[in-house]
Amino acid sequence: MNLSDLDFDKGDGLLPAVVQDAGSGAVLMLGYMNREALAETLARRRVVFWSRSKGRLWEKGETSGNTLELVDVIADCDQDTLLVLVTPRGPACHLGTRTCFGEGPHTRVENLSFLGRLESVIEQRVSEAPEKSYTARLFAEGPRRLAQKVGEEGVEVALAAVGGTDGELLSESADLLFHLLVLLRSRGLRLEQVVSELASRHKP
């Protein structure tokens, strides 16, 4: 991104920055960036705003630890508004909700985009390693054990497809997807990379 192309003058040196979860597509919050905040965001790869109330740069999560890891920044057609794609590390709102717009139907993420949210949950379990977390324990056993689990779940899916009910097939498929996501995380890979690989095979 070329900062010199952005129209900071239109908003008294500040650009509105719409923050979106790159995995789930949920709109998390709205902040403001001046030229320095955007430069720091790009340099740190974590989102930094200009706080109008504090009158200084403010990195999201500097006190709570709920940072926003930068994926990309995109300017709109008028070069005066930013779309900031992130991977959130914890709730985006200071009230503890996932977004600053609450958790109502207007912000609910449905269908396949839920997998992005699930990836974030897996990331959190792995990072915090709570004692009772199945995900954390499984991850700690390493890629070999995870590969074994994916193989076992794949067999369960096949058996359910041949002799099980629709409900059993759906349940086993959910188990397979979950364990696959944990396996990908153990290799530092994300579901979006799998989707990109699939998309590359079906270009017109």
- What does the pLDDT look like over 29-88, one tens digit per residue? 999 999 999 999 999 999 999 999 999 999 999 999 999 999 999 999 999 999 999 999
pLDDT band at 173 (very low <50, low <70, confident <90, very high): very high
- Considering the domain 111-200 in this protein, what is its CATH number? 1.10.287.1080
Give mean pLDDT, residues 122-150. 93
| CATH topology for the 3-88 domain | Ubiquitin-like (UB roll) (3.10.20)
Closest CA to 57 of 13, 92, 95, 87: 13
Do the domains at 3-88 and 111-200 have one common CATH topology? no
Strand order through the sheet with 27-33: 27-33, 15-21, 82-88, 68-75
Round to whole Å and give the CA distance between 13 and 32.
Answer: 10
Give the pLDDT confidence score for residue 1 in this predicted structure. Answer: 73
Residue identified by tokens 């779309």 is 83
Boundaries of every domain in the chain? 3-88, 111-200
What is the pTM (predicted TM-score) of this model? 0.59
Contact yes or no for 11/80 (Cβ under 8 A): yes
